[in-house]
Amino acid sequence: MAFWQLLTLTQLLSSFLISALASEGFICPANCTCLPIQQHILCPNASLTSIPSEMSNSTLELYLQYNNFPALSASFFPDLPKLSGLYLSNCNISSIGTGAFENLQTLKYLHLDNNLLRDLQSSAFQNLSSLLYLHLENNMLKSLNPGVFSALKHLTALYLSHNLLTELSEGALSGMSQLRWLYLSNNQISNISSKAFLDFTSLRKLSLDYNNLASVPLAIRSIVSLQVLNLSGNPIQKLTSVSFGRKLRFLEQLFLDQLALQKITPLAFYWLRRLKILSLKNNHLEHSHLVVSRLSQVCFWRVNLWRCDCNLIWLYTWLQIRKTQKEHSQVKCSALMHSKDSCSQCGVTKANLPTFWLGSHPANLQRCTWKPLRH
């Protein structure tokens, strides 16, 4: 027992000595909390209007949220050659001058979200070639100047959601060949240049949900590496065989919820050969005849009031093959077509009438239900 007690005491003394040695050489600014071992400085909500001048140059992460820095001018930050994370959320930042980050060349994580940025100079992020994650969500950006991100050669994720962007011009997103995740949801984007995404050779996820796009942007067809695409909440009413082109061969997840969709042509998703998840919730679809045999995992049909006639037999067949009760329960009929002879025209009898076709009216089982639509 004495041995283990001695070992524990030795470990505690070692930790204390390491902490003491680290603290001895680590400069901590006034009104801040410091973690010397982790090399972190925490100054949130410290009423700062400028960056503390005395700061250890071995700092790895600097937390400055909820302070007041309206303008980030040239050399705004001291020389911090090892800094990897900088957190500037909610700091009333309205402008970023050329060279503001020139002393932070090892920076990998930059949080500028929840500020007052309306515009970004083309040179705002120069000297940040090591940056991996850039957070600009919840600002007031109305446009992006060409080449504004071109210095960010290794950027992996760009967050631009909840701004006031109305378009993406050619060159606005150029230079980010390593980008994997791009978030542009909840803007006001109605126009995207056909060449806006040409540099995206590694992009995996694109979120354009809740914008003002009236059709699937032509630029999306060039993102061959894309795996996840979210277009929900846009005023897109129709999808055709050319909407997604033929090059999205790696797309696995497609979200098309709440689009006001009224029509999908049969081959709309034909070229999306690896598609596994197709979400069509909360649209205005009554009928459609899709080629969906390649959908291998999940398909959501909830809250579309389908017109249950012969043109929807393909959906019943697909659900039967999958034998998933959950998806059966999601299919609801808005109206049932009635004709004395229509059941035989669909190849359906009362014996094999799909139960979900009945909606909330079991009495319909006693009637021939389908009437073929004219093509």
93 is a domain residue: yes
149 is a domain residue: yes
Assign residue 42 the CATH number of its domain: 3.80.10.10
Q: What is the pLDDT of residue 316?
A: 59
For residues 96 and 72, give the distance between their C-alpha atoms in angstroms, rounded to a whole number.
Answer: 5
Q: Which of 238, 243, 209, 244 is nearest to 223 (CA)?
A: 244
Burial degree of 135 (CB within 10 A; 0-12, 13-18, 19+): buried
**Degrees (nearest 5) of the Cα angle 53, 56, 62?**
80
For residues 217 and 244, give the distance between their C-alpha atoms in angstroms, rounded to a whole number.
Answer: 9
368 is a domain residue: no
Give the 3-state secondary structure of 248-259.
CCCCCEEECCCC
Could you give the number of structural domains in the chain? Answer: 1
Number of C-beta neighbours around residue 187 at 10 A? 22
pLDDT string in tens for the chain (375-residue length): 453 443 344 343 334 333 443 445 789 999 999 999 999 999 999 999 999 988 999 999 999 999 999 999 999 999 999 999 999 999 999 999 999 999 999 999 999 999 999 999 999 999 999 999 999 999 999 999 999 999 999 999 999 999 999 999 999 999 999 999 999 999 999 999 999 999 999 999 999 999 999 999 999 999 999 999 999 999 999 999 999 999 999 999 999 999 988 888 888 998 999 998 888 888 877 655 565 555 554 455 554 555 555 555 556 555 665 555 455 445 555 555 544 444 444 554 444 445 444 443 333 333 334 333 333
199 is a domain residue: no
89 is a domain residue: yes
40 is a domain residue: yes
62 is a domain residue: yes
> Which residue segment(s) compose the domain that 55 sits in?
32-160
Q: What is the pLDDT of residue 340?
A: 41
For residues 340 and 161, give the distance between their C-alpha atoms in angstroms, rounded to a whole number.
Answer: 54
For residues 23 and 36, give the distance between their C-alpha atoms in angstroms, rounded to a whole number.
Answer: 5
5 is a domain residue: no
**Degrees (nearest 5) of the Cα angle 256, 248, 316?**
50
**Degrees (nearest 5) of the Cα angle 320, 321, 327?**
55
